[in-house]
């Protein structure tokens, strides 16, 4: 993968992230700190994990090493009291990840990037990991939305996203 390919992949990720933000918005305000499915995260914890992972991988490839946030998802989620707080966190993570991706070039994509998961992959492969993780956790969020009585947006309704997340 080269920078041109990464930019194309990131543009599609941007559009998917717009749908993800709309799934978050679909969850009722009073359901963010409950466990809609036993043994799984709360919606807030899931957003913290998903958005945080996106930021962590993008920034890690940019700097040559992916490092984990020392705070747990639960600790971060505990500081997000409202749906608006959760959405603001998701936007912050997106902005940070996008800034990191803008700084990545062919050298960073070719470099071997260590992770906190005791594996090292080339920078370009880390974006495959990011995509797999994002799709997996976004799917969980769809299930959570439905379990909370909400109807999430159609998975490919990119044109209904906020302007900055619509197709170019």
**Tell me, what CATH number does 98's domain have?**
1.20.120.450
pLDDT at 164 over 80: yes
Decide if 135 contacts 47 (C-beta within 8 A): no
Domain count, the chain: 1
- CA-CA distance, 19 to 13, in Å (whole number)? 10
- CA-CA distance, 149 to 151, in Å (whole number)? 7
pTM of the predicted protein model: 0.95
pLDDT at 73: 86
Tokens encoding 36: 């809609």
| Structural domain of 48 | 3-165
Beta strands in 42-144 (DSSP E): 112-114, 120-122
Assign 27 to helix, strand or coil. Answer: coil
Section 22-42 average pLDDT: 95
pLDDT at 69: 77
pLDDT at 111 over 90: yes
Q: Tens digits of per-residue pLDDT, 44-96?
A: 999 999 999 999 999 999 999 999 876 788 899 999 999 999 999 999 999 99
């Amino acid at each position: 993968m080269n920078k041109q390919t990464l930019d194309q992949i990131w543009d599609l990720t941007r559009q998917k992230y717009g749908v993800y933000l709309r799934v978050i918005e679909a969850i009722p305000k009073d359901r963010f700190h409950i466990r809609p499915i036993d043994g799984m995260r709360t919606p807030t914890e899931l957003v913290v994990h998903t958005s945080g992972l996106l930021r962590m991988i993008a920034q890690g490839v940019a700097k040559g090493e992916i490092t984990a946030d020392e705070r747990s998802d639960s600790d971060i989620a505990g500081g997000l009291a409202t749906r608006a707080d959760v959405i603001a966190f998701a936007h912050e993570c997106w902005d940070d990840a996008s800034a990191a991706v803008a700084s990545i070039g062919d050298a960073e994509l070719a470099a071997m990037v260590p992770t906190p998961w005791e594996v090292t992959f080339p920078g370009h492969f880390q974006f495959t990991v990011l995509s797999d993780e994002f799709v997996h956790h976004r799917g969980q969020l769809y299930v959570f939305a439905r379990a909370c009585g909400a109807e999430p947006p159609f998975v490919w309704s990119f044109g209904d996203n906020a302007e900055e997340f619509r197709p170019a």
